[in-house]
Structure 1
C-alpha cells in the first residue's frame, strides 16, 4: 500500500512537471509553426531530449509534434481557402513551399485534395442507399475506398441525408439501395472479413475513433477513459465532441461510451438506439 501511494505521488509530480514543459512547447509551436520547427527545436524549448519530448508531447496532446504543426498549418490553409484564396496563396499562408506540399497536407488531414476541399467536395463521388438493420432503417454512404458513414433514417431520410452530406455538399451522390443492402448484409449478417472504412476527419477525431475501435464488444467505457487513452483525462469534453462526430455507427462503437456516472448520454442517433445496441451485444456475447 505504501509503495502504491509513493508511485501515485511521483506520477502527480511528473504530470505537473510535464504540463509546464508541454505548455511551453505548445506556446513555442503556436508562435513558430509557419517555420515548421523540427523536433530538436521544440524539445529544447521544453528542456527535454528529443526522444523524451516526443513521447511526453504525444501522450499529452494526442498527436506527435510534427502532426500538431501539420494540423495548425492545415487549419490556416483551410481558413484561407474558405475565404477565397487559391492554392498558391493558401500554401504561403500555411508556411509551405508551394501547392505540392499543400496537396500532401490535405491528403493527410482530410483524404481529399485542396481543390476538392475548396470546392466543398466537387469531384468526390459517393454511393448512398438505405437498407434494413437490426436497429432500424440504415443509411449507408460508400466511397471508392470503403464505407464513409452508417447512419439511421431518424426522424426521416431527408434529415439523415442532410446530416451526412453537410461536410461535402458539392460531392456527387448516387443512390443505389442494392449496394447499401450488400453492405448491410456484410456488416450485420457476417461477410468477407474486415469492413474497409474511408473516413474523413481531423487527426484528433481519427485518434479518438481509433480508440473507440479498441473497446471490446459487450463492454463499456467512459469519456474520461477514452480521454486518458488518447491524451489526458482533462480532455473529456474534446473527446465527447469527437465521439459525437463519429460518422460510422455500430462499426466504430461510440455507443459503448457512457457518462462518468454510467448514464446513456450523448448518442447522435438517440439514447434508445444506444440502449438497444448495448443490449444486443450483451445477448450475442
Structure 2
C-alpha cells in the first residue's frame, strides 16, 4: 500500500473509507488495484479488501498512477464542490444582506437543494446559519466598543434590532469557565431601574443580558462576578431596559432580548425548557423534569429554577407545584402573581394534573 504525501496515515485513511466519512472527501483518495478505479471516502460502493487498496493525496496522483475515476461517487468533483463553498462564503461575507440560497447556488452553478447539502457537509451549518453567525460576530464586535445596540446591529447587517434579538434567542454566549471564574475577562455593564413590580438591576455583556433581578445592587453583582470589569451605564443599556419593562408590562408584544448566561449542563437544560413554556401557560416542576428526560429530578429542577440569573426573560415564574399552588419565587410570590396575571394566568396559575 503506497502513501504518496498523504495528510493522514494509511490506517486513518482506511478508517475514513470504512466509515464513509465525508470529512475526508478531497483530502484522501482510495484506489482499488483489482478494478483500476479510485474513489473518495464517502463512496457508497462496497468496500474491497484492504490489501487491494492504495491511498493517494489527490485525484491527480491517482490518475498519474493509472487509475480512473469512479462513476458512482465522482471524486473529481470534490475539488469543485469545495471551491463552490469557498466562493459562497466570500459572497456571504461581502454582502450587506444575507444572500438567498437560490442566489448563492446560481452564483456557483449548483442546484439550491444540492448546494445546501454541500455547504452544510463542509462547514456544519447551512448558508443561512453561517450568515446569521457572521452577523452575530459583527454585532458583538461593535458592541464591545460600548456602542449603541441599534447602531451595532444595523452595522452588522441586520435590517432591524428585532432580527438581532431573534437570532440571539437561543444563544448562551459566556463561556462556562468565565462564569466559574467570576466573569474573568468579561466587561459587564449594569444599571438599576424601577419596574411596575419593584426596583430591578440589569447587567449585560456585549453578547446579552447576564443578570436581571429584583432588589439587587452593584455589591450583589460583584459577588457574582468578582473578576469581571463592572461599569455602570445608565444610558447605553436603555434599549435592554425598555425591553425588560415591556416583558413585564406588555408581555404579549414584548420582543426577544439577547441573553448571555451559562451554568451546568443540567441547569442549562432546565433554563432552555423554561423558555419553551408558551405565554399564558404554566408547567409543574415535575413536567419540566420529564421534559428534559430526568423525571425523578423534580427537586433538582426546583433548585435550577431558583438559580436562574435572568428573571422574567427566562420565565421561571411560569413553573408551579403539581397541586396548582405557586411554589416559590426569588422575587417573592406577589411578583410571581403579578407576572402570571399579566401573561393571562389570572390571580394564580390554574391547577395542573399530577405528573408522576
Please, which of 237, 241, 249 is the counterpart of residue 184 of structure 1? 241
Q: C-alpha offsets along residues 38-77 of structure 1, whole Å, 9 cap, x if unaligned?
A: xxxxxxxxxxxxxxxxxxxxxxxxxxxxxxxxxxxxxxxx
Distance (whole Å) between structure 2 residues aligned to residue 122 and residue 222 of structure 1:
36
* 3-state DSSP of counterpart to 1:198: coil
Describe the shift of the 1:120–1:149 C-alpha distance in structure 2 as closer, same or farther (beyond 3 A).
closer
Distance (whole Å) between structure 2 residues aligned to residue 217 and residue 193 of structure 1:
13
Match in the other structure for 1:214: 276
* 3-state DSSP of counterpart to 2:239: helix
Match in the other structure for 1:149: 211
Q: What does 1:45-194 correspond to in 2, within 5 Å? A: 111-112=174-175, 116=178, 120-153=182-215, 157-158=216-217, 161-189=218-246, 193-194=255-256
Q: Could you say which structure has the greater relative contact order, defined with CA pairs below 8 angstroms and 6 or more residues apart?
A: 1
Distance (whole Å) between structure 1 residues aligned to residue 211 and residue 255 of structure 2:
18
Structure 1, unaligned runs of 5 or more: 1-108
Distance (whole Å) between structure 1 residues aligned to residue 179 and residue 214 of structure 2:
26
Distance (whole Å) between structure 2 residues aligned to residue 283 and residue 276 of structure 1:
9
Distance (whole Å) between structure 2 residues aligned to residue 118 and residue 241 of structure 1:
18
Match in the other structure for 2:263: 201
Count residues in correspondence.
Answer: 171
* 3-state DSSP of counterpart to 1:278: helix
Q: Which structure: greater helix fraction? A: 1
The answer to whether the 8 Å contact 1:221/1:258 transfers is yes
Are 1:259 and 2:321 matched, yes or no? yes
Describe the shift of the 1:224–1:112 C-alpha distance in structure 2 as closer, same or farther (beyond 3 A).
same
CA deviation after TM superposition for structure 1 residue 236, in Å = 0.3
CA deviation after TM superposition for structure 1 residue 186, in Å = 2.3
The answer to whether the 8 Å contact 2:179/2:263 transfers is no
Q: C-alpha offsets along residues 71-109 of structure 1, whole Å, 9 cap, x if unaligned?
A: xxxxxxxxxxxxxxxxxxxxxxxxxxxxxxxxxxxxxx9
The answer to whether the 8 Å contact 1:132/1:181 transfers is no
Q: C-alpha offsets along residues 206-259 of structure 1, whole Å, 9 cap, x if unaligned?
A: 110010011111111100000000023211011111111111111111001001
Match in the other structure for 2:340: 278
Distance (whole Å) between structure 1 residues aligned to residue 268 and residue 260 of structure 2:
11
Q: C-alpha offsets along residues 171-208 of structure 1, whole Å, 9 cap, x if unaligned?
A: 11111122343212123338995311111211111110
Distance (whole Å) between structure 1 residues aligned to residue 231 and residue 238 of structure 2:
15
Are 1:249 and 2:306 matched, yes or no? no
Describe the shift of the 1:164–1:227 C-alpha distance in structure 2 as closer, same or farther (beyond 3 A).
farther
Distance (whole Å) between structure 2 residues aligned to residue 165 and residue 262 of structure 1:
37
CA RMSD of aligned residues (A): 2.8
Instruction: Tell me whether 120-129 or 207-216 shows the greater mean CA deviation.
Output: 120-129
The answer to whether the 8 Å contact 2:179/2:262 transfers is no
Describe the shift of the 1:113–1:283 C-alpha distance in structure 2 as closer, same or farther (beyond 3 A).
closer
Match in the other structure for 1:235: 297
What is the TM-score with the length of structure 2 in the denominator? 0.44
Distance (whole Å) between structure 2 residues aligned to residue 259 and residue 244 of structure 1:
14
Between structure 1 and structure 2, the one with the greater Rg is 2
Structure 2, unaligned runs of 5 or more: 1-171, 347-356
* 3-state DSSP of counterpart to 2:200: strand
* 3-state DSSP of counterpart to 1:123: coil
Instruction: Tell me whether 117-126 or 129-138 shows the greater mean CA deviation.
Output: 117-126
